[in-house]
Every structure is written in structure tokens, then in C-alpha cells.
């Protein structure tokens, strides 16, 4: 364990992986998780929450500092939920509030189904769940094409298709700046793992809608105010309707906690009451 400012960094060995996680602050436990987003993406928001919470952030398995024994093992929501459950059990500070973003929102829903005793509130912020929509054949073809494009070596082409399928406008100069040229090896490895070992299992995960509707955990379906008509706006609204809750709006878009951490955390505090 090392200490940097108010952040402590830790590693927990679990079957097949060595999980990196960070803790900040003190008080009731709240976890902020992504997939593929690592701990660093949540750090600014976590710092704001740490004034009165213990905040857990982590690198999901196969990304950045969370190393797999088998680098070619696929990442599923069930595996990631088990990882998070093991960390929460190790900390013994629950039940926790868990906020999951994107693939991390799918992780969070899988955790609600598998270990409801570990959570008080689960905020699934824009989970990309294909199976709550109706156009499965079209979506399946899109996923297969996206993965095949990346596997062929056309990285920028894969990202163009990804943002088009997500209905997120991404200007070409910004796309080339983010995903072209020289990049950190860890970022390239994380990207490869996501495309080849994570995106399919995450986006095609089948939620147990009856279990989510009946769970004692408070489930919040979060949507960015700026995400209107984007793919994850559609999936989150469909999920909310199927489990009988109303969507809850948060500032910003798909990654509002990155765009404006202060506004996002203020809204999170309101939602938590």
C-alpha cells in the first residue's frame, strides 16, 4: 500500500486477477466504477465526495493496473460484479452506494442481482444494454462489425463506427487526436482488451428484469441531461420502463462526472438525499 495525499492505493488478489483500487476520505462508503473506464477517470469527482464519504474507485479487470493471469480471458459483468463484491466484502464497510457508468453500470446491475446485501443504492448511469431494445438483429450485426473492424487493425475506423452506433457526435480532428498517433501503451492495451474481450459480453448481457424490479436495493437509472437520443439514453429509458422506475437526470452527457465533476457530485448528493 502506498500513500499519496489523501489517497491510498491497494491491490486485492481474486481468482484470475489482481485488482487495483483506491480509497479516499472517510464516512459512508460509495463506490464509483466503470468499464472500461479506470479509477483515474473518477478521481476529480471522488475527491469532492471524499469530504464526507469513503470513496472507492478501481481499475476494472484487464485494464491499467488490474492485471489478469490470462490476458486473453473475456471480461463479463458477472466477473466484474464478483470482483467488486470481493472488494466490498474485504472492506467490510457496507452496505455501499455504488455508482456505475456505462459498462460499469452493467457491472452494478449484475452486482444487484448477485449480492443485493452489499448495496443500499445502485445508480446505473447509462448502461449500454442491447437486449432491452427491440432491434436485436441490427444491433448484433453492428457489434460484430465493430469488433471485426478493430481486429483488422483499423483503430480509427472502429472508433468512428462506435461513436456512430452510440449516436454521439465526434468531430474527426478530435477522434484522430484521441485515438491516432503515438499513445501510451497501457491505453492501447486497455482499448484492445475492451474491443476484443469486453464490449460484446457487456453490451449483450441479459438483465434479470424481475429480480431488478423486486430487489430491496434502491435502483436508480441515471441519464445525462445532454444525452438525449443517444444510444445509452434509449437503453436506460427502456430499462427503467421495464423495471418500473423513472429515469433520473444528471448534469452533462455520458461521462458527466468527467465533464463537470462538481455539478455531477452536487446532483449525486441530491439523489442520495
Taking 50 as the pLDDT cut, the residues of the chain under it are 1-4
Distance (Å, whole) CA 269 – CA 250: 11
| Separation between Cα atoms, residue 178 and residue 216, nearest integer Å | 41
| CA distances in angstroms from 51 to 1, 43, 219, 258, listed in the order given | 22, 13, 24, 18
Q: List, for residues 20-62, the tens digit of each pLDDT value.
A: 999 999 999 999 999 999 999 999 999 999 999 999 999 999 9
Domain spans, the chain: 2-134+204-272, 136-197
pLDDT in tens, 185-221: 999 999 999 999 999 999 999 999 999 999 999 999 9
The strand ranges marked E within 5-150 are: 7-14, 17-25, 29-33, 54-58, 67-68, 96-101, 119-125
Angle, helices 39-49 vs 261-272, to 10°: value is 60
What separation, in Å, do the N-terminal and C-terminal C-alpha atoms of the chain show? 33
Which CATH number is 2-134+204-272 given? 3.40.50.1820
pLDDT of residue 6: 84
Nearest CA to 201 out of 189, 193, 211, 209 is that of: 193
**The model's pTM:** 0.95
Distance CA 139, CA 110 (A): 21
Amino acid at each position: 500500500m502506498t500513500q499519496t495525499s489523501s489517497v491510498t492505493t491497494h491491490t486485492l488478489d481474486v481468482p484470475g486477477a489482481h485488482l487495483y483500487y483506491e480509497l479516499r476520505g472517510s464516512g459512508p462508503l460509495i463506490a464509483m466504477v466503470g468499464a472500461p473506464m479506470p479509477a483515474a477517470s473518477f478521481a476529480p469527482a471522488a475527491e469532492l465526495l471524499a469530504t464526507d464519504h469513503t470513496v472507492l474507485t478501481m481499475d476494472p479487470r484487464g485494464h491499467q493496473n488490474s492485471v489478469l493471469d490470462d490476458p486473453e480471458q473475456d471480461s463479463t459483468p458477472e466477473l466484474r460484479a464478483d470482483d467488486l463484491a470481493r472488494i466490498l466484502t474485504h472492506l467490510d464497510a457496507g452496505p455501499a452506494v455504488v455508482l456505475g457508468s456505462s459498462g460499469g453500470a452493467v457491472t452494478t446491475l449484475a452486482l444487484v442481482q448477485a449480492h443485493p446485501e452489499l448495496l443500499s443504492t445502485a445508480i446505473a448511469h447509462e448502461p449500454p444494454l442491447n437486449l432491452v431494445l427491440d432491434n436485436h438483429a441490427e444491433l448484433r450485426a453492428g457489434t460484430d462489425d465493430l469488433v471485426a473492424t478493430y481486429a483488422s487493425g483499423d483503430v480509427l475506423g472502429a472508433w468512428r463506427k462506435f461513436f456512430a452506433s452510440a449516436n454521439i457526435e465526434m468531430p474527426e480532428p478530435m477522434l484522430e487526436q484521441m485515438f491516432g498517433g503515438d499513445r501510451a501503451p497501457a491505453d492501447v492495451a486497455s482499448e484492445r482488451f475492451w474491443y476484443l474481450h469486453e464490449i460484446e459480453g457487456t453490451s449483450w448481457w441479459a438483465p434479470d428484469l424481475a429480480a431488478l424490479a423486486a430487489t430491496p436495493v434502491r435502483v436508480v437509472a441515471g441519464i445525462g441531461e445532454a444525452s438525449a437520443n443517444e444510444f445509452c439514453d434509449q437503453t436506460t429509458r427502456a430499462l427503467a420502463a421495464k423495471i418500473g422506475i423513472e429515469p433520473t437526470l444528471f448534469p452533462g452527457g455520458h461521462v458527466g462526472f468527467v465533464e463537470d465533476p462538481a455539478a455531477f457530485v452536487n446532483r449525486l448528493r441530491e439523489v442520495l438525499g
